[in-house]
Amino acid sequence: MQQFEFTGAVLPPAAEAARGSIRAFLAEEVAAARFQPHRCTWSSFDSGFSQRLGAAGFIGITWPEEYGGQSASSLTRFVITEEILAAGSPCGAHWIADRQSGPQILRHGSERAKREILPRIARGECYFGIGMSEPGAGSDLAAVRTRAEKVEGGWSISGQKIWTTNAHHVHYMIVLARTGERGESRHEGLTQFVVDMQTPGIEVRGIRDMAGNHEFNEVFFDNCFVPDDMVLGAEGDGWALVTGELAFERSGPDRFLSDYQLLVGLIDAVGPAPDRLQAVEIGRMVAELASLRRMSTSIAGMLGRGEQPVVPAAIVKDLGTGFEQALPEVARRLVDCEPSLGAEGPFAEALAETVLRAPSFSLRGGTREILRSMIARGIGLR
Ligand SMILES: Cc1cc2nc3c(=O)[nH]c(=O)nc-3n(C[C@H](O)[C@H](O)[C@H](O)COP(=O)(O)OP(=O)(O)OC[C@H]3O[C@@H](n4cnc5c(N)ncnc54)[C@H](O)[C@@H]3O)c2cc1C
């Protein structure tokens, strides 16, 4: 049975100082009308915003200076991240690179990958996609069929990925591919590759979601060459690597602040004299948010110590996305407002967009059933 606990993490003075700096940066952005607070923050792609954020020193901050970072603590990063999300800033372009691809390269990449890629991510100029899911291999990730064959000086990848967020915009994608036999555990023979999206042999086809947006894609690889020094870790280590990457993906404030602007809008819409039901429901949501924030802060501390808090991260994602999905329902109960994309006013617009996006919150990054099955195994119930 895996032991875990959410020890309280105290934010160090440097983290609180960073809160002042990032708030000042965001206030200036809003004052200059460079962005309008967005309803579903990290779904939005704005490379100009990411470049300004990078130039101001708010991306890749936990990495060593030699790779473009500032050797800051993961708790300082946590504070910057939560402020960026709470402000409703359009932070989606660099999000995956800063959250998981960069840390994955720092831990497992070659010296060339670290030197060439990490400083560009930190400057807000280089973006990543996640190449895990395939048709027939979503929840059952070990079933991936994309193959990489050894060739002179590198590897040749052929196969298909699906639901790849921003594949049509990004510079690189970390692809999980089969390089050997599955073995009895089914987890053997997998390897992760850093694939340059400009390489010949890659075709990206867009998929529209139910709100009509083009965010995710199908990606086809046909003998796409990847040099040896763009392999992450050792050949065959892919399962351990991808599991570690998911701990970065699942535990941050982006798992409970995706629609924070709707909570702000709800509180404004209810006004200073809520009735009893409104006070109880909003109080409950705010209390839940405070608990989630403490749990997520605790995981940021664990990640900073080099631990891989796989089960605690799954708990935060399951509870956090449940919170995010409950929010539009609570908003509909408390305020008489018909969600419609053509509706007038910021609250109605925010509600409509969140209602359309909310079902995806508990799918992206691993579904609720899969997370609960991992948690059950982690606490010895399976
Ligand atoms: C907005 C969004 C963005 C995404 N971005 C990316 C991306 O950038 N890169 C990427 O690789 N993927 C991405 N995904 C894909 C996402 O990771 C998968 O959708 C997810 O892992 C589920 O896989 P699936 O869609 O194949 O569903 P399936 O695995 O087919 O599951 C269908 C249903 O069956 C349930 N189920 C499956 N197996 C079990 C089981 N053993 N026990 C109980 N229930 C089970 C699931 O919980 C789910 O409810 C994204 C998805 C969304 C919605």
Q: Under CATH, what is the fold of the domain 13-126?
A: Butyryl-Coa Dehydrogenase, subunit A; domain 1 (1.10.540)
Residue 142 has pLDDT above 90, yes or no: yes
Task: Return the bridge partners of 131, or none.
Answer: 175
Nearest residue to 372 via CA among 321, 326, 328: 321
The Å distance, Cα 370 to ligand 1 centre, comes to: 9
Q: Which helix (H) or strand (E) holds 119?
A: helix 111-122
Checking if the pLDDT of 342 tops 80, the result is no
CATH number of 251-378: 1.20.140.10
* Structure token pair of residue 348: 């109605």
CA dihedral 209, 214, 216, 217 (to 10 degrees): 110
**pLDDT of amino acid 3:** 65
- Summarised one tens digit per residue, pLDDT across range 106-118 is 999 999 999 999 9
Helix axes 310-334, 346-361, angle to 10 degrees: 140
3-class SS at 27? helix
* Ligand 1 atom nearest to CA at 132: 11
- Assign residue 360 a region: left if phi > 0, alpha if psi is -120 to 50, beta otherwise? alpha
CB atoms within 10 A of CB 242: 23
Tell me what pLDDT residue 144 has. Answer: 97
Let me know: does 148 contact 179? Beta carbons within 8 Å: yes
pLDDT of residue 2 exceeding 70: no
Nearest CA to ligand 1 atom 51: 364
Counting ligand 1 atoms within 8 A of each CB, the residue from 130, 367, 368 with the most, and so the one to mutate, is 367
pLDDT of residue 1: 59
CA-CA distance, 68 to 89, in Å (whole number)? 23
Instruction: Give CA–CA dist 18/53, Å, rounded.
Output: 13
Write the CATH number of the domain with boundaries 130-240.
2.40.110.10
**What average pLDDT does range 14-30 have in this prediction?**
97
Binding site membership of 128 for ligand 1 (Cβ less than 6 Å): no
Encode pLDDT of 33-46 as tens digits.
998 887 777 788 99
Domain assignments of the chain as residue spans, ordered by start? 13-126, 130-240, 251-378
Yes or no: say if 131 and 137 are a contact pair by the CB < 8 Å rule: no
- Give the C-alpha separation, 374 to 382, whole Å: 9
Evaluate: CB of 139 within 6 angstroms of ligand 1. yes
The pLDDT value given to residue 344:
75
